[in-house]
Structure 1
Amino acid sequence: MATTKWIIDPAHSEIQFKVKHLMITTVTGYFKSFNLEVETEDEDFTKASRIEFTADIDSINTNNDQRDTHLKSDDFFNAEQFKQLRFIGKSFEGSGDNYKLHGDLTIRDITKPVTLDVEYGGIVVDPYGQTKAGFTVDGKVNRKEFNLTWDAVTEAGQVVVSNEIKLHCEIQLVKQA
C-alpha cells in the first residue's frame, strides 16, 4: 500500500471554539492560522500513520480585540511563551460517515488525551483536478485541565466564563501528488 500525504486547505477549513459567557450566551472564536498534515494508506483514513494539527495562538480571533488580547495573555494561552496548540492523532476508528479520532491535545505545556467526533464527508475531485477529503470535527475540553484557569464571578455569583469549551472544525484536506 502506498503512503498518501494530505494537507489542509485553509481557504475551505475553519477551526472554531465556543464558550459560555455569564452562562447565558455563547461566544465564538476561531484561529486564523493553522496547519494539518495527515498521512494515510492510500485513501483510507482509518489507517492514518500521522495526524498532526497545530494552531498559532497569536491568530486567535473572537471579533473583540480586548478579549483576544486577554486570551493571548498568561491568564489563558500565554501566546508569548506557548506559540501553538498541538493535536497529535493516535487513531481514527469507525465506519460509514461517523468516526472517533483519539489523540493528544497540548495547550500551554499540558498534554491530555481527547476524543473527537468526526463526520466524514467523503472524497471528491474539485474542478481543478485536486482530490479533496472533507470532515466535520466536534468535541469538548475542560479549559482548566490545560491551565487556562482565569476565573471571575459577578456580584450575583454568576460564573463569567464556563470551564467547558466546545470545539467545531470544518476540515478540507488536499491530496498531495
Structure 2
Amino acid sequence: METTKWVLDPMHSEVQFKVKHLMITTVTGYFQRFQVEAETQDEQFTKANSVVFTADVHSISTNNEQRDTHLKSADFFDAENYGEIRFEGTDYEHLGGEEYQLHGTLSIKGVSKPVTVKVEFGGIVVDPYGQTKAGFTVSGKISRKEFGLTWNAVTEAGSVVVSDDIRLHAEIQLVKQS
C-alpha cells in the first residue's frame, strides 16, 4: 500500500498553550516556529502511520518579553540545553464522526512521557492553487511538573503563581506532498 506524506502549512496553523496565573486569570502563549510531518496509509487520514510535531523553544511568545525570557531560562524550558519540544504520535484512534485521539510521546526538557490529545478532523479540500490540504483542531492538557517545569512562587495569601495544568490548543493545516 502506498503511503501519503503531509507537511505543515505554517501560514494557516498555530500552536498555543494556556496556563493559569495566580489562579485567577489565564495567560496564553504561542510557539512561532514549529513543524508537523505526517504519513498516512491513504489520503483520508483514517490511519496515520506517523505524526511528528516539533516546536522551537526559542520561538516562545506570550507577548511579554520579560516573561518570555524567564520561560526560556533554566527555571522553565532551559532553551539553551533543550531547544526543541517533540511529540511523536504512535496511535491515531478514530472515536467516531470527526473525533480522533492521538496517542504518543511528548518530550520536553529531556523528559519523555506518554500523552494523548484530542483531534477534531476538519476535512480535506483542494485549494485554489491545486494543493490538497487537511485541517485539524488539536487540544489536550499536560502537567508541566511531570516534564521538569517545576518553578513556582507563592503569594502572600498562599496562592501559587503558575498552575501545574497546561492546556494545549493547535489549529493545524497540512499539505499533501506529491
TM over 0.5: yes
Instruction: Map residues 100-119 of structure 1 onto 2, 5 A cutoff.
Output: 100-119=101-120
TM-score (norm 1): 0.98
User: What do the CA deviations read for 1:34-83 (whole angstroms, capped 9, x no partner)?
Assistant: 00000001214242111111000000000000000000000000000001
Per the alignment, residue 156 of structure 1 pairs with 157
Give the aligned residue type for 1:56.
D
Instruction: Could you tell me which runs of 5 or more consecutive residues in structure 1 were left unpaired when the two chains were aligned.
Output: none
Determine the C-alpha separation between the residues in 2 that align with 1:51 and 1:88: 6
Name the SS for the 1:49 alignment partner: strand
- Does the CA-based 8 Å contact 2:44-2:124 persist in structure 1? no
Cα deviation code 1:69-115 (max 9, x no counterpart): 00000000000000100000001111321000000000011000001
Q: 2: distance between equivalents of 1:2 and 1:109?
A: 35
Secondary structure at 1:45's aligned position in 2? coil
Once residues 77 and 18 of structure 2 are traced to their aligned partners in structure 1, the CA distance between those partners, rounded to angstroms, is: 15
Number of positions where the alignment pairs a residue of Structure 1 with one of Structure 2: 177
Instruction: Return the letter of the residue paired with 1:39.
Output: E
Match of 1:7 in 2: 7
Q: Give the RMSD, CA atoms, in angstroms.
A: 0.7
User: Identity percentage over the alignment?
Assistant: 68
Partner of 1:47: 47
SS at match of 2:71: helix
8 Å Cα contact 1:77/1:108 also seen in 2: yes
Q: Match for residue 38 of structure 1?
A: 38
Question: Any unmatched runs of 5+ in structure 2?
Answer: none
1:140 matches 2:145:
no
TM-score by length of 2: 0.98
- The corresponding residue for 1:71 is 71
Instruction: Name the CA distance, whole Å, in 2 between partners of 1:41 and 1:80.
Output: 37
The answer to whether the Cα contact below 8 Å between 1:45 and 1:92 also exists between their aligned partners in 2 is no
| C-alpha displacement of 1:149 | 0.4
* Secondary structure of the structure 2 residue equivalent to 1:151: coil
3-state SS in 1 of match to 2:163 = strand
In 2, Cα distance between the equivalents of 1:45 and 1:116? 16
